[in-house]
């Protein structure tokens, strides 16, 4: 099959694209509602894009009522946010947290999701996710006709479940099986890690 993109509407292309870029990591984003509660929502148009400085990107769109999604508003107004890599066991909480609530209402409170405080962090993290990035707004670029917000967050601090960390030869090595990351496919489908393949590169046998 060949898909000539100009022949399809934006909605059709969205539906096609989310089935083709596979699997996608999920940024489970906690942001500050500014009223003492926290917003939580998943975004799978997400990746790490630079390491100097360390920057993550999430792409955030609009609610059906044509207002900006709460994550976009919160990060615009209050800068700091936490990106989690959700665990496979959290798939239902991830899905629940994508529910559209009025601005200022908390998915964490609505769905009974547990958060915990970390020393020195201005925002809490979701319990059960093996990785959490404390980020600070770096830039927001509006892209496309609708437009979509490309939110760039500079990572200030990273929390990693100690169970998944080892330190051979002073390197930080993370066991992805212990992290058990949840990934998104198209529609309502998700994926788990599956088999890990190890292939040494001729020029970098130690990896990297």
Ligand X SMILES: Cc1cc2nc3c(=O)[nH]c(=O)nc-3n(C[C@H](O)[C@H](O)[C@H](O)COP(=O)(O)O)c2cc1C
Q: Which of 30, 41, 108, 131 binds ligand X (CB under 6 A)?
A: 41
Q: Which is nearer to ligand X, 128 or 175 (CB)?
A: 128
Q: Which of 56, 57, 60, 126 binds ligand X (CB under 6 A)?
A: 60
Q: Which of 12, 98, 114, 117 binds ligand X (CB under 6 A)?
A: 98
Stretch that binds ligand X, among 95-103, 135-143, 168-176, 193-201 (CB under 6 A): 95-103
Whole-angstrom distance, CA of residue 80 vs CA of residue 123: 8
Question: Under the criterion CB under 6 A, does residue 87 sit at the interface with ligand X?
Answer: no
Stretch that binds ligand X, among 42-50, 117-125, 153-161, 164-172 (CB under 6 A): 42-50
Q: Which is nearer to ligand X, 61 or 165 (CB)?
A: 61
C-alpha distances in Å from residue 194, one per residue of 23, 86, 88, 174? 11, 16, 11, 16
Whole-angstrom distance, CA of residue 14 vs CA of residue 25: 17
User: Under rule CB under 6 A, which residues in 160-199 are in contact with ligand X?
Assistant: 184
DSSP collapsed to 3 states, 20-75: HCCCEECEEEEEECCCCCEEEEEECCEEEEEECCEEEEEEECECCCCCECHHHHHH
C-alpha distances in Å from residue 10, one per residue of 5, 39, 65? 9, 27, 17
Q: Which of 30, 32, 38, 43 binds ligand X (CB under 6 A)?
A: 43
Residues of the shown chain interacting with ligand X in the complex, contacts defined by CB under 6 A: 26, 39, 41-45, 59-61, 69-71, 94-95, 98, 100, 184
């Amino acid at each position: 099959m060949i898909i000539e993109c100009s022949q399809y509407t934006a909605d059709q292309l969205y539906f096609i694209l989310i089935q083709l870029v596979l699997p996608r990591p999920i940024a489970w984003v906690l942001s500050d509602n500014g009223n003492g509660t926290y917003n939580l929502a998943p975004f799978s148009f997400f990746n790490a894009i630079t390491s100097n400085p360390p920057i993550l990107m999430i792409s955030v769109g609009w609610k059906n009522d044509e207002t900006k999604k709460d994550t976009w508003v919160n990060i615009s107004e209050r800068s700091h946010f936490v990106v989690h890599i959700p665990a496979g066991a959290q798939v239902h909480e991830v899905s629940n947290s994508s529910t559209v609530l009025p601005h200022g209402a908390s998915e964490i409170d609505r769905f009974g999701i547990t958060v915990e405080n970390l020393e020195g962090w201005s925002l809490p993290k979701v319990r059960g996710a093996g990785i959490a990035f404390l980020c600070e707004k770096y830039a927001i670029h509006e892209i496309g006709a609708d437009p979509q917000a490309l939110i760039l967050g500079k990572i200030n601090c990273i929390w990693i479940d100690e169970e998944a960390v080892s330190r051979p030869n002073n390197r930080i090595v993370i066991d992805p099986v212990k992290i058990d990351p949840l990934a998104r496919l198209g529609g309502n489908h998700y994926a788990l890690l599956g088999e890990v393949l190890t292939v040494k590169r001729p020029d970098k046998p130690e990896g990297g």
